[in-house]
Structure 1
Amino acid sequence: MNLVRWGMIGCGSVAERKSGPAFYKAPGSALVAVMGRRLEAVTDYATRHGIARVYTDAQALINDPEVDAVYIATPPDSHHAYALQVAAAGKHCCVEKPMALNAGQSREMQQVFADAGLHLFVSYYRRSLPRFRQVRQWLEEGRIGEVRHLSWTLTKAPSAADRSGTDNWRTDPAIAGGGYFADLASHGLDLFQYLLGDIVEVAGFTARQAGLYAAEDAVSATWRFASGALGMGCWNFVADRREDRVEVIGSEGRITFSVFDEHPVELHADELHAGEHLSLNIEHHAHIQWHHVLGMNAHIRGETQHPAVAEQALKTDWVMDQILKRDHT
C-alpha cells in the first residue's frame, strides 16, 4: 500500500489546520472522504479542502471501499463507538486524544484492534515533533545524568466564554471525560512517558475553584516513573495568566521546555561551561500533525514503528483516571 487513503469523521476546528491538511498534503497520504453531521458545514469543508466525497453518516464513510483508514476527529465521548465500527469494517484507525472517556473504554478499543490485526493510533502527535525528539535524544545520551524529577506548571486565565457559561464540550465531563485537564494535560502526561518511560504510581487532587463550569478547573498530582524518577504537575485554568513550563532535573543538569508554547528547548548541563546553556528554537510545522501523519502511514506500510499507538495512549488514560478518580472499569 503505497498510498494510504483516509476518511475523516468530524470537521471541526482541529481538522481545519492542525490535522486535516496534513492527511492530504503529506507524501503517501490522501484524504478522500469526510463526514459531518450537518451537510452544509461538511460540504463547505470538503469544498475548501478539495475532498471528493461527503457523508453525514459515519457508517457510510467507514464502509466506503475507497477508504483504507479512518481518522476520528470528534470529541472523546464518541471515540469508543466509532472506533469499534472501524475495527468491525477491518480498517486501520486514528482517534483524536484523549483516546476515550476512561481507560476501560480505551482498553477495549486497543484489544479489539489487536485481535483483528489492525493498527489503532491516537493523536498524541507531540511524540513525533522534532523539538521533543531532541529532548528525548538529550535524555538518551545522558546529557543531564540520571533523571531525578520532572515538574510541569500549566495555567491560563478563564476565557470570556468560560465566564459567560457559553456551551463548551471541553468543559463538559460527560463529553470530554473531564475539563481542560483532560483535553490539555493528556498531551503532557503522554509526552512525559515517551521521554521518561511509564508512570507506575500516581495520586491527584481536583477542585472547582471558580465554579464556572461543571468540570474541575484546578488539578495537582504527583507520580513515580518506572525508572524511580518522580514527577509533579500543577494545572489551573482559572489563574491570573498563562504559563506552560516543564523542568526535567537530572544528576548533572536539567532540561526546560513548554508542552504547547513554542519557547526554546534548553539544556543546562555540567558538561557545558559554567553559566552557559544550549537553547534551541525548533519551530512546529504549519500543520502540527504533519509528522504524526507521516509516521502513521509509514507504520501502516510496515516501514517503521510509530510511537503514538493505542498501547501507549491507554497508559495515559489510566494515569488520568487515577488523578480524576474516574471509573475506569
Structure 2
Amino acid sequence: MHEVRIGLIGLGGMARFHIQQFGKVPGVRITALCDVSELALQQVGDELGVEEARRYGTFQALIEDSEVDGVVSVTPNDTHADILKACIAAGKPLFAEKPLTRTYGEALEVMELYRRNPIPCIINFSYRYGPAFQYAKQMIQSGKLGRVNHVFVQYLQEWGAPPFNTPFVWRFDERITGTGTLGDLGSHMIDLAQYLTGDTMTELQAMLSTIVPTRPNPGTGEPMNVAVDDFACFNARFASGAVGVFQTSRNAVGSGNQHDISVYGDLGTLHASTLNDQQLIWIHPKDGEPGTVTETIEVPETCGLDPWQSFAELVQGKPASEFATLEDGFRNQAVLEAVVRSNESGTVVSIASLLPAT
C-alpha cells in the first residue's frame, strides 16, 4: 500500500498536535504545508523536511497539488467554508476542524456542493474519541440505561473570566468566528449529546449572553467591543422525546477545560467528564432493595479512537463510521443556527425547519 501524503493547512498551536499524532501513524507523511506566515512555513517545513516547492502561501495551491492525497485543515472559522469548497471541487479527502463553517449560510452553500460531489471527510469533533465517552456510548447502546429520558451537558472554561483580563483575540471577533463560545464549545456539546445517545435534536429554546462586553486590544490596551457570546445555554427536545439541558461558558473560574455529560435513563444514570477520561460514574437501583448504588467504572484500555489513523485509512478508501461526517457537521451547524434564532426571537425554534430536503 502506498504512502499517504498529507497536506497541512494552518501551522498554529493545534497544528503542532496534529503533526505529533500523524507522526505516530505508519505509512503517513506530511509532504505539503500552507500558512500565511513565511516564518512558520520555514520553521515547520525545515523541521519536517518538506521541500520548498510544497510550502504554500495559499490553501488553493496546496489542495490542487496532485502529490497531496489528503488535506488536514487547522484554521480559524472564517476560512472553513472556502477550504471545504476547494476540497470538494478537487475531490480531495479532508480532515477539518469544527464548527463546519462560520455561519449557517456558508454551511448551506457547502452542503449543496457536497451533495453534488461528495468527498471523504472527517469533521474533528474531538471529544467523541475520548475513552470515557466511547465507553459511555457502548453502555447506552447496549441498553444498560434503558430508555434515555434526559441529558445534562456542560462545557466550561475559565480563560475569558474577568480576573484573567484576556485580550481581544480572534475567538472574540465576530468577523472571524461567527459566534463565540456557542460555536467553539457549544458545537462539541451538541455533537457529543447526539453521538452518545444516537438521537437527534428537533427543537430548542436558547439564551446567549456576553458577560465581558469589552476586551483590551492586545497591541494598545484600548478596550474593544465584543459582539459574540461568552455564555450560552439552551433546552432541547430530541426525536425520541428525551430532553436536554446545555450550558457553556468562557467565564467559569476554576474550570480549565471541563466537558461533562450526564445521561439519565429508566434504569440508571451515567456521568462522564474530561476531568477523568478513564472513569465513568454509574448510579443505579440496588437489586431488590431501596436506594441506589454509585459505582466508579474503570474504562477498558481498548476504548478510545484514533482519528489520525482513521483519516489515513479513509484516504485509502476504508470507512470511518465512528467519526463525524460533513453531513454531521451540517446538522451541528443547523443546531447552532437554531440557538442563535431562538435567542433573537425568544421562541422555540424547530431544527428540522433548517434542514434542506435530501
- The answer, yes or no, to whether TM exceeds 0.5 is yes
Deviates more, 1:44-53 or 1:167-176: 44-53
Shift of 1:98: 0.6
Corresponding residue of 2:234 = 221
How many pairs were matched up?
325
CA–CA separation in structure 2 for the residues paired with 1:127 and 1:271: 31
Alignment of 1:183-262 (within 5 A): 183-196=184-197, 197-212=199-214, 213-242=226-255, 243-259=258-274, 262=277
Shift of 1:126: 2.6
Cα deviation digits, residues 225-280 of structure 1 (max 9, x gap): 11211101122322333154321111110110125764622222347795341422
Corresponding residue of 2:221 = none
Corresponding residue of 1:265 = 280
The alignment's TM-score, normalised by the length of structure 1, stands at 0.88
- Structure 1 regions of 5+ residues with no counterpart? none
CA contact (8 A) 1:129 1:291 kept: no
SS of the aligned residue for 2:293 comes to coil
Q: CA RMSD in A?
A: 2.9
CA contact (8 A) 2:28 2:312 kept: yes
Corresponding residue of 1:293 = 308
Shift of 1:146: 0.9
Cα deviation digits, residues 261-319 of structure 1 (max 9, x gap): 6462222234779534142257899xx9x711222232333332433110111111111
Deviates more, 1:260-269 or 1:37-46: 260-269
Aligned identity (percent) is 26
Cα distance change, pair 209–128 in 1 and its aligned pair in 2 (3 A) = closer
SS of the aligned residue for 1:44 comes to helix
Corresponding residue of 1:39 = 38
CA contact (8 A) 1:266 1:280 kept: no
Q: Which residue of 325, 330, 348 corresponds with 1:314?
A: 330
CA contact (8 A) 1:7 1:32 kept: yes
Greater gyration radius: 2
CA–CA separation in structure 2 for the residues paired with 1:39 and 1:11: 11
Corresponding residue of 1:5 = 5
Q: Which amino acid aligns with 2:203?
A: E
CA contact (8 A) 1:173 1:179 kept: yes
SS of the aligned residue for 1:268 comes to strand
Corresponding residue of 1:102 = 103
CA–CA separation in structure 2 for the residues paired with 1:323 and 1:261: 29
The alignment's TM-score, normalised by the length of structure 2, stands at 0.81
CA–CA separation in structure 1 for the residues paired with 2:276 and 2:213: 27
Shift of 1:81: 1.0
Alignment of 1:73-92 (within 5 A): 73-92=74-93
- Structure 2 regions of 5+ residues with no counterpart? 215-225, 345-353
Shift of 1:50: 4.2
Deviates more, 1:176-185 or 1:300-309: 300-309
Cα distance change, pair 113–3 in 1 and its aligned pair in 2 (3 A) = farther
Deviates more, 1:62-71 or 1:152-161: 152-161
CA–CA separation in structure 2 for the residues paired with 1:162 and 1:78: 32
CA contact (8 A) 2:107 2:333 kept: yes
SS of the aligned residue for 1:65 comes to coil
CA contact (8 A) 1:6 1:23 kept: no
CA contact (8 A) 1:9 1:34 kept: yes
CA contact (8 A) 1:220 1:233 kept: yes
CA–CA separation in structure 2 for the residues paired with 1:9 and 1:128: 22
CA contact (8 A) 1:2 1:301 kept: no
CA–CA separation in structure 1 for the residues paired with 2:302 and 2:163: 28
Corresponding residue of 1:21 = 20
Shift of 1:193: 1.1
